[in-house]
Chain A
Amino acid sequence: MAVETAEATEAARQAMGGIGVSLARKEDARFIHGQGHYVDDVVLPGMLHMVIVRSPHAHARIKGIDSSAAMAIPGVIAVVTGELLAQHNLAWMPTLSGDTQAVLATDKVRFQGQEVACVIAETKYIAEDAAALVSVDYEPLQAITTPQQAIEPGAIVIRDEKEGQTDNKIYHWEAGDKDATDAAFARAAKVVSLETFYPRCHPAPLETCGCVADLDPVTGNATIYMTSQAPHAHRTLFAIVAGLPEEKIRIISPDLGGGFGNKVPIYPGYVVATAASLLIGRPVKWIEDRTDNLISTGFARDYYMDGSVAIDDSGKFIGLRVNLPATTGHSSRMRNRASSRPASSTS
């Protein structure tokens, strides 16, 4: 009889669903029919296409941008530059971690692949043809490629546009109990140290980042289809940048073709597409190609870790110190300063 009871229990559990029971996915139907709805699948009437012109230099002064050849191509609607955005007070924007970043470079470029201009055209083929013709006059400056170079005394300051910024430290975070740790190391029977490099890792979802920005010129409502893992935070940020109340902004995050964290930061392309839609009065689609994605999307790691463990007589770990100079790129785009996560699990 016990067997029957067990079988009955199992049958009831299966019928009820939940833990330990294989569940059929509700999302599958549209995906296996090829009817998923990703941002690049969105087509709106009158929609234009945007392609970004990026800097080949890691650090250079922009002496001038000539977009006349690009504008001469039939089907090109606009070439947006940092200068144009600055006129609308849109050239810089906040990041999700309390820093600022350029939407389009104005004075100089601060990383290789930085967004310098955007071409808006009737088709993406035309936009890409025109982007190749945007001529940017650069004066290359000394580049910094490692955190060690960045903190050398006298190193050239990349973020010289930040008031009071005199070095290349962009972010500092401490956690733990310094006194207790010092005490643990003082009484340790043995201290083991390791210096290691934790290489940069690129999220590389199959679907790149992109958006379709649609500003209704009549109501002033902004509808933005976006490859976003954080639509609510993005709405707040858009509201700050555009000076609009949040209820005027709707961020739609449809199916995502993978994110792995890199769809949390806000990228200049989203903002320029939105500004362009506002200025032109038509929806604007921007979809990164893979080169865009690999060169400019938020990455993880890239840490030079210097760690020590304090160990007592019995072999027990009693203290841990980690110092971690990290390359954050040109700005701190993602990490939340208020984060209480321990250093060992940051990413």
Chain B
Amino acid sequence: MFPAAFDYIAPGALDEVLSLLGQHGDDAKVLAGGQSLIPLLKLRFAAPVIVIDIGRVDGLEGIRRENGHVRIGARTRHRDVEGATDLRGTLDVLLDAAPLISDPLIRNMGTVGGSICHADPAGDWGAVMLAVGAEFVLKSAGGERVLPAAGFFQGPFTTGLQSNEEMTEIRIPVGTGKSGGTYLKLERKVGDFASVAAAVHIVLGGDGRVASAGIGLCAVGAHSIKATAAEAALVGQEPTDDVIAAGARLAGEAAEPKADIRGSAEYKRDVARVFVQRGLHTAVKRAQGAAA
């Protein structure tokens, strides 16, 4: 199992990457950690003319806080998110999701931006980014645009990213309210894709009511799903058991699972509901315990 032949280039500067992308468009594939791209190349599901390795471009890795955002360089490895323990209390859902991505060896190579752009419907970061209301910084030779995670995932392996664009950063707004979140994932074995997973992130206002709620669902549709009706039903409410159960029911209804070897559609939809319910309880508890 080997990739078909391709040209390879590893530019040292982002400008060069953007210029190459402008030139080659759909014939090019960007290589970051390679943990999704290389299997596709080996199975010959992807056969780009040119592979542009961004591994030598400076400034694409790292997690920092700036202007009310947590900013994650697109080439930041999963393991670096796993180790960013100072995110606890602010973005619990990221810390809970990172160690559940594939296995430790893959997390040593795989990148957050790569995974988001690959947009596997069963990829973990998509659901997480929808839950936290992330924005993606996309650069091209012509300039920069910022797309919200909501609407970015359009179908299996299909996103709003244009062929001449490179994702450089993920920006996650972090307010001053008390927040909490978590990620729940059902997988048959370590390293398998999710049968179902759910990302939950909430912010509580000073009155103890839900100021904002984010719910992302993984592996229950053609792309990562934002459970908007469930989110809306939670906002402004006191997070009682009934409110949470009602929100979880709406989240389950937002799921569009297909039956496969991992389970029936009915089963997966109910797992989504249960995960969101459990996730909301954990998120609320964490937010209530958090310092504003």
Contacts and interface: CB of A to CB of B under 8 A. Distances in A.
A124 B1 CA distance: 9
Contacts of A290: 1
Interface in A42-76: none
B105 to A, nearest CB: 15
B44 A289 contact: no
Nearest to B5: A129
Interface string A154-179: 00000000000000000000000000
B44 A124 contact: no
Interface size class of chain A, counting residues whose CB lies under 8 Å from the partner chain = under 10
A129 B1 CA distance: 10
Contacts of A219: none
Interface in B1-36: 1-2, 4-5
A290 B5 CA distance: 21
Contacts of B4: 129, 132
A125 B1 contact: no
Contacts of A132: 4, 44
B1 A289 contact: yes
A128 interface: yes
Contacts of A129: 4-5
B48 to A, nearest CB: 15
Interface in A144-201: none
B2 A125 contact: yes
Nearest to A128: B2
A291 B1 contact: yes
A128 B1 CA distance: 8
A215 B243 CA distance: 76
A125 B41 CA distance: 13
A289 B2 CA distance: 10
Contacts of B44: 132
Contacts of B1: 128, 289-291
A132 B42 CA distance: 13
B191 to A, nearest CB: 14
Nearest to B42: A289
Contacts of A291: 1
Contacts of B5: 129
Nearest to A129: B4
A129 B4 CA distance: 7
A290 B1 CA distance: 8
Contacts of A124: 2
Interface in A111-137: 124-125, 128-129, 132
A252 B104 CA distance: 37
Interface string A204-239: 000000000000000000000000000000000000
Interface in A86-142: 124-125, 128-129, 132
B24 to A, nearest CB: 22
A124 B44 CA distance: 15
Nearest to A289: B1
B43 to A, nearest CB: 8
The 6 A-B pairs of least Cβ separation, nearest first, read A289-B1, A125-B2, A128-B2, A129-B4, A291-B1, A132-B44
11 contacts: A124-B2, A125-B2, A128-B1, A128-B2, A129-B4, A129-B5, A132-B4, A132-B44, A289-B1, A290-B1, A291-B1
Interface of A: 124-125, 128-129, 132, 289-291
Given A129-B5, A132-B44, A291-B1, 8 more contacts: A124-B2, A125-B2, A128-B1, A128-B2, A129-B4, A132-B4, A289-B1, A290-B1
